[in-house]
Structure 1
Amino acid sequence: MNILSHMLNKAVEGGIFGYHPGCEDLKLLHLCFADDLLIFLEGSEKTIEGVLAVLGVFEKISGLAVNIDKTSMFCSGVPDDMLHRIHTKHGLTPSSLPVRYLCLPLCSKRLSIKDCDPMLSQIQTKLASWSLKLLSMAGRLQLISSVISGITVSPLPSFGMVLRIFTREQGFAGRIESLWVVWVRKTYLSVGSFWSQNDSNNRFSWMFCKLLRLRSKATTFLSIEIGNGEDTFFWWDPWTPFGSLISFLGDLGPSRLGIPVDSLVSDLISDRNWILPPARSDTQTQLYSFITQIIPSTSSDRPVNIPKHTITSWLFMLNRNPTLIRISSWAEDVDTTCLLCGLEEESRDHLFFECQFSSEVWRLLMSFLFFPNAPSNWSISLAWIESFKAPKHLALAIRQGWQASIYEIWLERNRRFHQGLSLRPRQILLKILLVLRHKAKALQCKGSKYGTPLSLTWQPP
């Protein structure tokens, strides 16, 4: 399919046929999935003849031919006489929308029960053959495994989408240039921030509006680290611990400060210095006290990712992560020597924190919290953390530090295992502290009573 994709792209560049309206800026010509192909074209006879000619050349090269009987053509605004000529000459008959793939319609709105009728009918047909049989438990399991799971439908992820939002360029959502990201950026975000969009705009798809309504929840987990400020909107993006400044200072904030509502952070920076209008309220003074601590640089702004430490530590408590000792139990010829210290076998108890490398990371972190003699044995350290009760914010800080240490040490181990790269213990410590400061900032924005105490706890001395 890569060869066919290249041939189609060369053909459209050579003017053999044209792009579908609205697709030229994105260079969107076709989508492939397994042996299925969607081609988006302008509605003309020349275009149909051109693309069929390319498919004919591909058939001579590969021996793979287009089955016209299984080919559907969807069009809009094409005259009836042209459709008749296309059908007479090429055998293509217009189909009606919506386009269905694996029983489900390809659409951006919420699927109704009527939309799912073909899929439900297929399930009922499959189950009908079992209706007259008395099934044992084994038979019911066979029904589930061989019949229901054998029905060809779109996977469950088709009904949902996980949103990872950062800034407009940093990639709503990330710098991964997927087709969906490029299309959303071009269609919806070409003139404003993701955070400033109206979730009731009829121009937006149902799915995009649903994503917009999740912004209030997403902001509590996101933060942007300012570099040159060129990728971050001053009023809309979550680059301060106060969240969106339009919410923090109110709708009159732009007029009171004299900073336009569509300003970038870079508009307030000159020669790496801040150019801020005078503060006129205690709230503005509080904001300025934070902003002036940021030192602008020449690097790009970047989203701060707060990893989920809990999952990693939970898996280690169950001893389910693939340490070398565990790998050796199901694979032969595995060198079980610890990748961090190179002295003993790599097991969970050794990694946390009996290993010379990891114990140094743990000691540095606990010394930061004024507990230089914290236990380094796995079982004893768990009991010590569990028994530590007061003050509550310090007990929470120790738990956060323990989870973050496990996460970063395991990340360092995998970095050495997969990439052959390594960091020193103090570098690991700086990574841990940075993430914990971001977590404390997120708790502050969320209004947690532990936000401010934890922020003070993790601040540099």
Structure 2
Amino acid sequence: MDYLSRLLNNLADKRKINGVNFSPNLNLTHILFADDILIFVEDRDDYVSNLKMILHLFESASGLNINLSKSTIFPINVPTDPAKSIADSWGISKGHLPTSYLGMPLGGKPSSSNFWDNVLQKIQKKLSSWKYSQLSKGGRITLINSTLESLPIYQIWKVNDGEDISFWLDNWNGNAPLSLVVPRLFALSTNKKGSVKDFWNPSSNDWHLHINRPLRDHEKNLWHNIKASLPTPLPNRGLPKPLWKLNSNNIFDTASVKKILSEAPVSPANFHPNLYKTLWKVEFPKKCKFFIWTLIHGCINTADRLQKRLPNWALSPNWCYMCNKSQEDINHLFIHCPYSQQLWSKAKALLKWNRTPTDVQSLVQNICSLNIRNQKGLITFNTSAILLWKIWLERNNRIFKQQGKDSQDLWEDILAQTGLFSCPFIRFLWISLLSFGESWHNNHHAFEYSARVGIEWWEVDIGWYVILFLQAIGLATDVKQPSQAHKQRLSMDKPNEGCQE
């Protein structure tokens, strides 16, 4: 590439080619990107011919050849005749937008279903149908994001004179190329590569189909339906150009964007401006994030929803498996159920949170309004989200596995996971240590914090030392020693070997 760069510089110095003037003192002929090169040449026949000569010279010197059979020229804002002349002189084909380059779509309308065919094909190639069905919710989010992350958006096209658009082969009508929509008419056409301009008759202000025989009755009806959906070309308006549909003058401005956003109806998906920003950026598992997202939209399959969707299958009463006292719906399960209220009482006491939400959506709105860059905000968000997630898992375990935990055991799991998901942030490491200390053993149900008693100091629970250290530096407060009765019970329960009273 260095040799080719010197050849191009030599041609530019001798005025044999001319690049692009980005400023009075900067004439750019080429840019190197590792093994790739981007060449800028003024649109003149002699410059294009000199460039072709230089590339042939580079091929002879380096042994690297351009595969003309795989090369295509895509004219953008270039009339048809000059583009065709360049393609013929180089011996390459002339293409049309939209197309695909290195797997990326170029041109087209995102509002058209055909625009996403390339995306669907990528997903189908990456995973067969049975593999996709086995993906977790987080895995599906990752797959979709990886496929969509580089796609262009907001492409809206306006057909002017139609000289640069193929009538049959380009997707200019919004759904698919007309050759695919009406293949019968395409087969009858005598001008299969003609442009939109070629098929439009300005004198009659109507379309001229260019077919090899008169249309039959059913073909006339088909053409009449298609013709009614075609946009009318605008002669003498130049090439197609982008169009902003939110303004009557078709010109983009930020005021129109602000207006349409302010007029958007309030829905669970946008009731808080920081909702998705907080939810998707916080550091905990994607399956938990997806669960909160479905909770926002009210798509959790609680018993009342299953009764409505599958009345013949869900014959049993929609009873809450957590309390066995009330019917199960989303607000009862996560907020009003006595089991859930015990957990929320513990969380409010620990976090010193005085808010009392009455429904799930207001609860999620409250926690998503928290500043997760703040120590307390992050821990409050994690605790609340994990609490909701754990309630759902506990409910499913009771239904499908006939296994359940009491509220204290589940609260300990919530504390441990809150610390685990907060620990990537160094300044929040203390909550991870505290949770680790509380959850190390199962002998701390009778009091707030725990330690083994009646054994040598080197056998003491390591979690207790963590708690004492946190108390010493002021990060843990109200640390309580085990009661005397509990000490006696532990002493009676544990074996005598290696222990001292």
TM-score, normalising length: structure 1: 0.32
Structure with greater contact order relative to length (CA < 8 Å, sep ≥ 6)? 1
TM-score, normalising length: structure 2: 0.29
Q: Which has the larger radius of gyration?
A: 2
